[in-house]
Amino acid sequence: MTWFGQPFSDRVPLTPGERVEVRRRAKQLAARRRGTWIVLAGAAVAIAILVVFVPSIARTLRDWGMPWTLALAATNITSVLVLLGVVFRLLHRIRVRAHREAVRELGFPVCVECGYYLRGHGAGGSGVASRCPECGRPR
Ligand SMILES: [Zn+2]
């Protein structure tokens, strides 16, 4: 999956008007999903880090001779960065998938998993592939 750039294959023949429509639909789809997943995943990761990892890592660092305040600061800053990373990764995944689904809604068969354009990959080199030739996901 791409981090930046286009979330689906650039072989999809979208007109400028369709591109605008894809962005509009993707925004709606992403907005519908964002809330639930962020709350669930964010809360689970935050609780896991705060309850399990931060105190034990801070204690380990102190046992290795690091001053206690420095050990606490280092582990807390690291856990916040990890949490932000997870949240942004999740947001990005939701946004990319929403774009692919919006493209599919317009009638262009792209793989939801990797964004590969599936037209012309069916049996005998025509039609639409039943399984993504790029990542193997059934369509
Ligand atoms: Zn794929």
Cα 134 to ligand 1 centre (Å): 5
| CB-based burial label for 21 (10 Å; 0-12, 13-18, 19+) | middle
pLDDT, one tens digit per residue, over 30-80 is: 888 767 677 777 778 777 777 777 888 889 999 999 998 998 888 888 888
Cα 64 to ligand 1 centre (Å): 47
- Look up residue 68 and give its two tokens: 């206690």
Greatest C-alpha distance within the chain: 68
pLDDT of residue 126: 63
> How many Å apart are CA 29 and CA 33, to the nearest integer?
7
DSSP 52: I
At 1, is the pLDDT very low, low, confident or very high (cuts 50, 70, 90)?
A: very low
Cα 8 to ligand 1 centre (Å): 10
Nearest C-alpha neighbor of 95 from the set 17, 34, 19, 45 = 34
CB 102 within 8 A of CB 26: yes
Task: Calculate the average pLDDT of the chain.
Answer: 83
Cα 40 to ligand 1 centre (Å): 26
- List, in sequence order, the alpha helices (H) in the chain: 16-48, 54-63, 68-105
